[in-house]
Amino acid sequence: MCRLQRPLLAVLLMVIAGLSSAGQSASKPVAGDPSATARKFAALAESGHCSEALPSLRTSIRQISDKELKRKLGLDGVHCAMTLNQAGSALEFLQVLTREFPHDPDVLYVAIHAYSDLSTLTSQELARSAPSSYQARELLAESFEAQGKWDEAEKEYQGILKQNPHLPGIHFRIGRLLLSKPNAGPAIENDAKQEFEKELQIDPANAGAEYVLGELARQNQQWDDAAKHFSRATKIDSQFGAAFLGLGVSLLSEKRYSDAIAPLETAVKLEPRNPDAHYNLATAYTRGGRKQDGEREFAIHGDLVGNTADSGTQTPPPQQQ
């Protein structure tokens, strides 16, 4: 059984106990008073009788208008639902809490741990009910990646491909994994490139794969190939700011200043706080004969970096999909 860890239970109980003294004096509710009834069941939950309290907490939280009492019921409800392993009920209470109290530290704290426990519970159910499925193996591979166990992760991804050779996304993940390995040399980079190309054969609409191929070409000063990949990425995903920036930088490197302006303007629009986008747009404007516009963009760039650094032509890391 998956339960909240003991330290978290203690914190939850302390949070709930300090919400209102009214809950402790509500053992004798006034007939017909929904607030008094709600406090009764809140007190019942806080005394450890979750099975008896939970159904009424679910009803009361929808009827109560008093904000503090609603907050109390929600926190009690999450605690009881997670204690009883009732994921659906926990999500109902979390939905109310995050909607009504989106910035409350106690609510956010409880939500973080509840969602984490729900994720663990669901992953355990997947491993138990379908251990040989590609979904279970992919989850395991992601876990290995998070731990930096690159070889173990790659083995799982390759196993998935043996089961499902045309499954979208897996070649992309292998390519990304290869590039994540420490001290990845030219040979590994070439292997990664082949994985991204295989991904595009399966899923031509993978903007991330096009973007990474563009980055690899740009780093090798293959400006024309880089521009082609970045351009395809922007056509697949019109909100992909890093791809527009990469396209603009590649065109600048080819001295195609006027052509670089449009994608860089889009990059600035999509990522207005990105100093690289403003710097490269300023460069394109200036070298394209639009000196005043260039000065404006250089000024914005200076404001963003505190007038202390020149970001050059760096672009953000590959988008993960």
With a threshold of 0.85, does the pTM exceed it? no
Every domain of the chain and the residues it spans: 6-129, 132-204, 230-321
Domains 6-129 and 230-321 share a fold: yes
pLDDT score, position 49: 92
Q: Which residues of 70-108 are buried (b: 16+ CB within 10 A; e: fewer)?
A: bbbbbbbbbbbbbbeebbebbebbbebbbeebeebebbe
- Residue 168's pLDDT band, with cuts at 50, 70 and 90, is very high
What the block records as the tokens of 51 is 């099975």
Q: Is the pLDDT of residue 17 over 80?
A: no
3-class DSSP assignment, residue 176: helix
DSSP 8-state symbol, 21: G
Tell me which long-range contacts 38-44 makes (C-beta under 8 A, separation of at least 24): 38/63, 38/64, 38/69, 38/73, 39/69, 42/69, 42/72, 42/73, 42/76
Q: Is the pLDDT of residue 23 over 60?
A: no
Class of domain 132-204: mainly alpha
Burial class for 311, CB neighbours closer than 10 Å (0-12, 13-18, 19+): middle
Class of domain 6-129: mainly alpha
pLDDT score, position 220: 94
* pLDDT tens per residue across span 57-109: 999 998 888 999 999 999 999 999 999 989 999 999 999 999 999 999 999 99
Q: E strand or H helix at 13, and its extent? A: helix 6-17
CATH number of 230-321: 1.25.40.10
Mean pLDDT of 230-239: 98
Average predicted confidence (pLDDT) for the chain: 86
Least confident of 27-41, 54-68, 79-93, 200-214: 27-41
Mean pLDDT of 114-128: 89
Task: Give 232's contacts (C-beta < 8 A, 6+ positions apart).
Answer: 207, 210
pLDDT score, position 32: 57
| HSE of 71, CA atoms in CB hemisphere, 13 A | 20
Neighbours of 162 (CB within 10 A): 8
Mean pLDDT of 182-203: 92
Mean pLDDT of 231-246: 98
pLDDT score, position 312: 46
* pLDDT tens per residue across span 169-181: 999 999 999 999 8
* pLDDT tens per residue across span 244-273: 999 999 999 999 999 999 999 999 999 999
